[in-house]
Each structure stands twice: as C-alpha cells, then as structure tokens.
C-alpha cells in the first residue's frame, strides 16, 4: 500500500483526494504556488512544498519541481488530480523513471488517447462508433475548409490535444470558418502548446453521455455506468447527473460495452472516462452514439458516480495504483439518482465573465443539509485570476431524479452565500427548476436556447423584496415597537400598511411596494407582483410561502452600504436608491471596459473607424479563455487604449466610442 502521497494539484480536488488518503491512513504532501500559500489544501496536508510563483507554468506545471518535492518528502506516489499534469505522458514516464507510483494510467495509454485524431482511428479499429469527420494531418486552412464543406455544416472544429471545452468552435456556415479556425488554433496553442485541429460533423440535437471505466493490471476493465453531462456552456459542463435520463437497459449495455472495449484497446489501468456524443433528437438508440474522446484521469464530475454506486473512486485509484484489483462487474449496481452543480466565480448577468477577488462571505451547504460539497476555498480567501474559477461542486443524491433536483435547489436556496465575488448560483437554480430540465428535455443546446431566462440582468424579485424589508427593519412585518414612529411600516390611519422604496443594485433600479393584506404580503418589485403567504421577518431571515412552496432570504445589514441579501442562490448588495447621488457615466459616449485582468490578444479597430453594435473590437485572454469584447452600440472609435500583447487591469477603458455622425 502507498505510504506517502503527494497531490500534484490544488483547490477542491487536492482537498478531496486528501480526505480519502487520510481515511486510508496514507500521509499526504501538498504543493503550492505563492498565490496558494494559505490555501486550505496546504493546511490540510501533513507536509507542504512551495513550487514557485502564481502562474501555473511557474508552479503546478513544473514537473521537475514536483518530482523534487516528492523526493524531499519521501512520497512514494503522486496523484495528479485533473488538469495541470494529469494527462501528461512525459510526467507519468518521469514518475516511473524516478521510482514513484503515478496514480493514473500508463504513459502509453495517455499517448494513445491524448490526441483526438489518433484516438478516433484507434477506436474505429476497436469497433467503437465514431463521429463522421476529418481527423488527418493536413492542417492547411483551405484544405480544412474544403473538408468542412464535404462533411456538411454545421461542423465542430476541435483542438487535437484539447480538453475541458477549450479549443472548440461550432461553425454554422462557410463564411465563418476561417475566423473560427484561427481563434480555435490560437486558444489551442495557448492552452495545450499544439494548434492542430480536427473537423467533425456537429450533431444538431446532441447529448453528452460518458461512461466511467476502471482497469487494473490483471487485465480486467469494468464500468461504473454512465453520467449525463449535456448541460454545458461554451463546451464547459455545468450540471451533471447519473444515471442518464431516458437510458434503457439495451442502450446502456451497448454504450458501456463500447466504453470497456475502448479502454481494453489501450490496456487501460486506473480511472478513465469514455465520452460519447449522443443523438438526442428522439429516444436513445443502440446505434445513436459516437465516441468523442477518452479522458485518461479522474473527472470533475466523479462524485455523482460515487453517489449512485457507493464506491470511493479515489480509494479505488490508490488501491489499483498499489497493485490491487477492480471489483467484479456484477458487484457494481445503481442506487438512486445523483446531481452535481458546478459553482463558478462568474457573473451570468455580464455574459459569464469570470469574477475574481476576496471571499468576504462564503457559506456553502454541508452534509447535514443532504448535499455533499467539494470545495478548495474558504471565507477570507480569494478567487485568483491564475486558475480555474470553480468555487465548489454541490452534489445531491436522492431516491429519484426529482428528489435529487429538489435537494440541490434547497442547498442553493437555504445555504449558499458568496460575496463580493459574483457566482452562477442563481443561474444553476433557474436551470434546475426549469420545466424542461425537470422533464429531462435536455441536450447541449439547453442553456444557449434559454439564456435570457436563465441569466437575467437583474436580481430576482425576492431579493428586492427582502432587501426592502431588511432596510426598513421589517417594514409592514415589523414587530410592534414601544414608539410606533420608530417603525418604517407605512402605517395609515385608514387602510392597510403600505411601504414604498426605490432600490438599487449595481445600477439596476427597482421600485418596491409592500402591502400587508389579511396576513399576506402583497409585494410589487418593478413590473413583477408576488403574493407571499405566511410571511415572517426576524433578524437576518425572511421566510414565506409562494404558490404553496416555501421561499426564504437571508440578509445582513452592512453599515452605510445597504443590505447583503442571499435569495434563490444569488447574493446581492441592495441599497436604497438616491437619485441625487446617481450620475450617468460617459455621457454621449461609451467605453469598452476590461471585464477582468488579462492579456490583449488583438485590437480590431483604430481611431476614426465606424463600428456597428455587436462588432468585435478587442479580444482579451483571461483565465485561459478568449473573450471577445463587442461594441455596445453603433458609433465611431474615439480612442484606443489597448495594444496586442498588453496586460490590462480590471475595468480599464480599452476603447471609447463617440456618437456616429448622422
């Protein structure tokens, strides 16, 4: 058995691996960058070794430094987690050469599955169905455009060495191919050091279903059933569940058997995931799924598989790495339904721009609320611009799909507070409660087709109402006071108590009108009216029933700043609106601001250029992703304050527009 395990990773996956290692009696070693010197995974480990400065290439991607850390601390095994060096065959070879166990597959298997074109050819040979497309070596742009035409639009351009949703572009028409190809190649080169791509037919109603496989050194490969990861945004998974909705025994047998064949074709050892693109235009079919790629590592969404099978996959990884065996296939069974939501530091209201900075408030669900939370940050810490912006994974396990959804929604509603970093928690809640999702009518287009509903620009009505009550000390719900003049309850000699106030959140302004009528709170927030039965107001908490369902909002008064309100997954600072204190910025013009710190990749305009609303002006790279910044309206470029290659700070005015001459 492994005695000392070094975890070559950070954040929630490092903490998650350590929990299992400690339970197994294995000593742990953490590695860290300067940005993570006080991170939870560092304090959780028995030993910790500094790797370097904050950028990953100067720390978590320095294989030599990680191996030296293992040598210094006496670690006899290294777990790479996911991301960073987890699918780096050279790192796996270096571990072998140093006599250190690499908790993952052999480097030959990583090589075989690491390049998508080579992997697809191998899968065809093994009898695993693959998506029609071009997987060859010719990378000439004109030739690739010709192949896309032969395949038939829409097509998907994918980085050969890609993963994690990076280096992928959907192209709907020939005229957009050249620009999409160039952008995909830039992102692929930046993320993977390899700009080569392949072209595939885009399945127009696709579902993303993957199978968890496990192999050992006795040549046995088993599966742990499937996960559905169809809810995605920009090819990044958002909500995952196991098992897959609509799965039949025959389709499950065909898909899981194909996944096992894929793993056997490369003599796979350890945990891996075989991902399929599935035709979701109708009921699932035995001939309606195609191999997409194999991830030769543990997946982010592995907890849903753990929940329905009862196996700790990290424990199994460690046992197999030490020479142990996988269980017999007939000992692996499905129990219940599991749902996972990825809580990201990003703002849906601004196009999901990453949000970085301190975590002054961080409250997440715990096991007591029926939700498993895997996180690597804590209150008082921060979200760094250098790494993935995931704050936590929230996992619910219930007897049915509906029960798992309800448990996850309750966790977001009742026990999720994050501030001042913005998150996608409200977006997750709206997705989980959407009628189409509850009815399992999902494919990978789900989010894009419902974005206006899932990511509104303003806080939900309940947040405005709770903010008004908090700022008014309860307003019409306030407990009787000794002096009635001390209570802002809208008291009237004749008529029901009415309270009215104008509120503001980040420039969004709403008038709120509250009336207490026969014990029910009639609340108007902007254009929306709610009738809240059984309303109760107490310090820090407002509860009621809306359409028979319980709703709640937590709040905290911030002196001179308003009320911090957490409701329906979202956290907002609500202030009373003072028109005299407001001023319109850039009157007569508009500025395109950097939504986060980053590097300018390209500037498409110069002073004097006339631009149209929606036209791309600047492309910014931040958090390993490209962000195209577009003109908010028609106009003329007045000034350009950015140049390709420049590093810019959050909020920097990159381009300023003036009105177009009429």
Element (H, E) at 171: strand 166-171
| Token pair recorded at residue 582 | 């407001």
Q: Is 32 exposed, middle or buried (0-12, 13-18, 19+ CB in 10 A)?
A: buried
Q: How far is CA 507 from CA 100, 214, 360, 579, in A?
A: 56, 52, 22, 11
Instruction: State the DSSP code for 204.
Output: S
Is the backbone peptide bond immediately before 243 cis, with ω within 30 degrees of 0?
yes
Instruction: State the DSSP code for 564.
Output: E
Which residues on adjacent β-strands are paired with residue 492?
none
| Token pair recorded at residue 103 | 């908790």
Q: How far is CA 65 from CA 48, 61, 72, 94, 387, in A?
A: 13, 9, 10, 12, 19
Rounded Cα–Cα distance for residues 265 and 84 (Å): 25
- Which of the residues 169, 196, 227, 297 is marked catalytic? 297
Rounded Cα–Cα distance for residues 174 and 152 (Å): 10
Q: Which of 458, 462, 459 is nearest to 523 (CA)?
A: 462
Residue 297 designated active-site: yes
| Close Cβ partners of 279 (under 8 Å, ≥ 6 residues apart) | 203, 205, 206, 207, 285, 288, 289
Rounded Cα–Cα distance for residues 402 and 336 (Å): 11
Q: How far is CA 8 from CA 25, 57, 78, in A?
A: 19, 13, 7
Q: How far is CA 215 from CA 282, 293, 298, in A?
A: 33, 17, 13
Task: Return the biggest CA–CA distance within the chain.
Answer: 87
Helices (H), 434-576: 435-438, 446-449, 451-454, 461-471
- Please state whether beta strands 337-344 and 390-398 pair in parallel, antiparallel, or not at all (unpaired): antiparallel
Which stretches does DSSP call E strand in 400-527? 417-419, 498-505, 508-517, 520-525
| Token pair recorded at residue 618 | 């600047």
The residues that are catalytic are 297
């Amino acid at each position: 058995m492994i005695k000392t395990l070094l975890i070559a990773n950070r954040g929630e996956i490092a903490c998650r691996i350590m929990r299992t290692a400690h339970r197994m009696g294995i000593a742990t070693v953490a590695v860290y960058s300067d940005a993570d010197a006080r991170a939870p995974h560092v304090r959780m480990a028995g030993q910790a070794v500094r790797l370097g400065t904050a950028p990953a290439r100067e720390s978590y991607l320095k294989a030599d430094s990680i191996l030296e850390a293992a040598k210094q601390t006496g670690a006899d095994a290294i777990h790479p987690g996911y991301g960073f060096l987890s699918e780096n065959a050279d790192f796996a070879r270096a571990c072998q050469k140093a006599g250190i166990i690499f908790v993952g597959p052999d480097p030959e298997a990583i090589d075989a599955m690491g390049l998508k074109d080579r992997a697809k050819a191998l899968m065809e040979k093994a009898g695993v169905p693959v998506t029609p497309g071009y997987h060859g070596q010719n990378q000439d742009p004109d030739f690739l455009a010709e192949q896309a035409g032969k395949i038939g639009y829409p097509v998907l351009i994918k980085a050969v060495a890609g993963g994690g949703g990076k280096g992928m572009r959907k192209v709907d028409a020939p005229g957009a191919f050249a620009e999409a190809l160039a952008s995909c190649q830039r992102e692929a080169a930046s993320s993977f050091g390899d700009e080569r791509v392949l072209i595939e037919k885009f399945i127009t109603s696709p579902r993303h279903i993957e199978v968890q496989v496990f192999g050992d050194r006795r040549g046995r490969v088993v599966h742990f059933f499937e996960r559905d990861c169809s809810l995605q945004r920009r090819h990044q998974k958002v909500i995952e569940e196991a098992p897959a909705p609509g799965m039949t025994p025959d389709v499950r047998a065909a898909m899981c058997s194909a996944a096992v064949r894929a793993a056997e074709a490369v003599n796979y050892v350890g945990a891996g995931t075989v991902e399929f693109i599935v035709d979701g235009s109708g009921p699932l079919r035995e001939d309606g799924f195609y191999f997409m790629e194999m991830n030769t590592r543990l997946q982010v969404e592995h907890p849903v598989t753990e929940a329905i099978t009862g196996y700790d996959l990290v424990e199994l990884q460690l046992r197999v790495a030490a020479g142990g065996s996988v269980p017999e296939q007939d000992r692996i069974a499905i129990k219940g339904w599991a749902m996972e939501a990825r809580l990201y530091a990003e703002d849906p209201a601004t196009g999901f721009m990453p949000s970085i900075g301190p975590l002054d408030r961080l409250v997440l669900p715990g096991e007591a609320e029926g939700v498993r939370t895997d996180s690597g940050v804590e209150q008082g810490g921060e979200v760094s611009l250098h790494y993935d912006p995931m704050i936590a994974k929230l996992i619910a396990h219930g007897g049915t799909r509906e029960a798992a959804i309800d448990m996850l929604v309750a966790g977001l509603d009742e026990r999720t507070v994050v501030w001042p970093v913005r998150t996608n928690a409200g977006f997750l809640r709206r997705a989980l409660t959407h009628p189409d999702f509850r009815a399992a009518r999902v494919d990978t287009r789900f989010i894009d087709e419902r974005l206006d509903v899932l990511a509104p620009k303003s806080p939900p009505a309940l947040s405005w109402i709770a903010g008004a009550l908090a700022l008014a000390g309860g307003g019409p719900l306030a407990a009787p006071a000794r002096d009635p003049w001390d209570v802002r309850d809208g008291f009237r000699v004749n008529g029901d108590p009415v309270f009215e106030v104008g509120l503001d959140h980040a420039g969004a302004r709403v008038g709120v009108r509250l009336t207490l009528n026969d014990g029910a709170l009639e609340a108007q927030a902007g254009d929306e009216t709610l009738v809240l039965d059984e309303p109760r107001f107490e310090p820090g908490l407002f509860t009621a029933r809306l359409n028979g369902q319980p709703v709640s909002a937590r709040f905290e008064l911030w002196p001179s700043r308003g009320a911090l309100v957490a409701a329906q997954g979202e956290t907002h600072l609500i202030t009373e609106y003072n028109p005299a204190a407001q001023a319109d910025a850039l009157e007569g013009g508009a500025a395109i601001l950097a939504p986060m710190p980053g590097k300018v990749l390209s500037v498409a305009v110069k002073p004097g250029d006339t631009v149209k609303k929606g036209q791309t002006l600047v492309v910014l790279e931040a958090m390993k992703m490209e962000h195209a910044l577009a003109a908010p309206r028609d106009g003329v470029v007045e000034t350009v304050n950015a140049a390709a290659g420049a590093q810019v700070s959050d909020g920097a005015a990159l381009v300023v527009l003036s009105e177009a001459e009429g």
